[in-house]
């Protein structure tokens, strides 16, 4: 996302001015999300978070994206200061726990980075949310992708898991791989089996699994037949598996033309995700 932008750390005074301006524009805010990709690289982040709490005293939760390598590199004392200042939750883009898939996707991290980052963030007191990219393994590695992703999350620990489905955008390197046959998209039925395998392998306690994104939907004609699954782990795991099983059985029985986000994107029905 940032290939054409030069990285720089914003001065604290400028960030404070941004926060004051945000208060003028939006007024009160129940939640605040720090959207830049690597906020923990900023040495003044504890002061920034504390200032957000000062300017938005009604805020219930502050969350942020986090880069695994940065969390691993940071001293635990720094992370604890950020947490004490009022940053509640860190969001990590795991995408996959399979090293082959991560390399293919040019993620720039290894599975062990994600495990260490999750463990360290939770030790510092943060809630942790991991994103898993369904379909990232393609047709050749969907099972390895599912099993390895569950293994990494079991080891890292997670309070939230959010599922997203790979939707290949025009003009990307992966789009070129798709056009040349180097990469093959996981069909909807196999992707449901991937999701089932992933959920079945999860051994987490007190974790919420969410499929809160349009990319996870499946259509038959104009009818939505699958919206993803959501629930508490481990208590609702049997229900989640049953729901995925029902979706698999429905597709197998219907024999209809099942469309996913990739199909709808290529057909021009949806334009971005």
The vertex-88 CA angle with 87 and 91, nearest 5°, equals 100
Q: Please give the pLDDT value at position 1.
A: 65
| Distance in angstroms (rounded) separating the CA atoms of residues 23 and 59 | 12
**Interatomic CA distance for residues 243 and 198, integer angstroms:** 14
Give residue 158's pLDDT.
97
For 154-174, the pLDDT digits (tens) are: 999 999 999 999 999 999 999
The residue written with tokens 């938005």 in the block is: 56
Domain ranges of the chain: 88-266
Low-confidence ranges of the chain (pLDDT < 50): none
Architecture of domain 88-266: 2-Layer Sandwich (3.30)
Tell me how far apart the alpha carbons of residues 145 and 97 are, in angstroms, rounded to a whole number: 6
Terminal alpha carbon distance of the chain: 13
Integer CA distances (angstroms), 56 to 18, 86, 167, in order: 13, 11, 36
13-to-7, 55, 68, 166 alpha-carbon distances in Å: 18, 14, 27, 39
Any idea what the Cα angle at residue 271 is, between residues 142 and 252, rounded to 5°?
40
C-alpha distance from residue 101 to each of 48, 108, 149, 199 (Å)? 35, 11, 10, 19
Contact 163, 199 (CB under 8 A): no
Q: Which runs of consecutive H residues, i.e. helices, occur in 158-210?
A: 173-180, 188-201
Look at residue 35 in the predicted model and tell me its pLDDT.
86
> 């978070």: which residue's tokens?
49
Burial readout 216-238 (b: 16 or more C-beta within 10 A, e: otherwise): bbbbbeeeebbebbbbebeeebe
The C-alpha atoms of residue 273 and residue 263 are separated, in whole angstroms, by 13
């Amino acid at each position: 996302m940032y290939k054409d932008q030069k990285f720089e750390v914003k001065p604290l005074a400028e960030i404070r001015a941004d926060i004051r301006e945000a208060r003028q524009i939006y007024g009160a805010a129940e939640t605040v999300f720090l959207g830049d990709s690597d906020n923990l690289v900023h040495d003044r982040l504890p002061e920034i978070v504390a200032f957000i709490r000062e300017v938005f005293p009604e805020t219930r939760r502050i969350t942020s994206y986090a880069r695994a390598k940065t969390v691993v590199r940071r001293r635990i004392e720094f992370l604890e200061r950020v947490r004490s200042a009022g940053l509640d939750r860190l969001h990590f883009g795991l995408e996959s726990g399979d090293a082959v898939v991560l390399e293919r996707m040019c993620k720039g991290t290894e599975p062990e980075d994600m495990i260490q980052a999750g463990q360290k963030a939770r030790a510092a007191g943060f809630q942790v949310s991991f994103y898993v990219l369904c379909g990232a393994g393609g047709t050749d590695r969907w099972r390895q992708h599912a099993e390895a992703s569950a293994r990494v999350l079991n080891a890292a620990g997670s309070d939230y898991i959010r599922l997203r489905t790979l939707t290949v955008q025009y003009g990307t390197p992966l789009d070129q791989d798709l056009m040349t046959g180097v990469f093959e998209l996981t069909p909807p039925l196999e992707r449901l089996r991937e999701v089932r395998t992933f959920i079945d392998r999860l051994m987490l306690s007190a974790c919420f699994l969410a499929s809160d994104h349009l990319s996870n939907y499946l259509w038959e004609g104009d009818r939505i037949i699958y919206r993803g699954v959501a629930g508490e782990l481990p208590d609702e795991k049997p229900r989640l598996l049953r729901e995925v099983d029902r979706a698999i059985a429905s597709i197998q029985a219907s024999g209809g033309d099942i469309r996913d986000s990739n199909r709808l994107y290529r057909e021009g029905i949806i334009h971005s995700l």
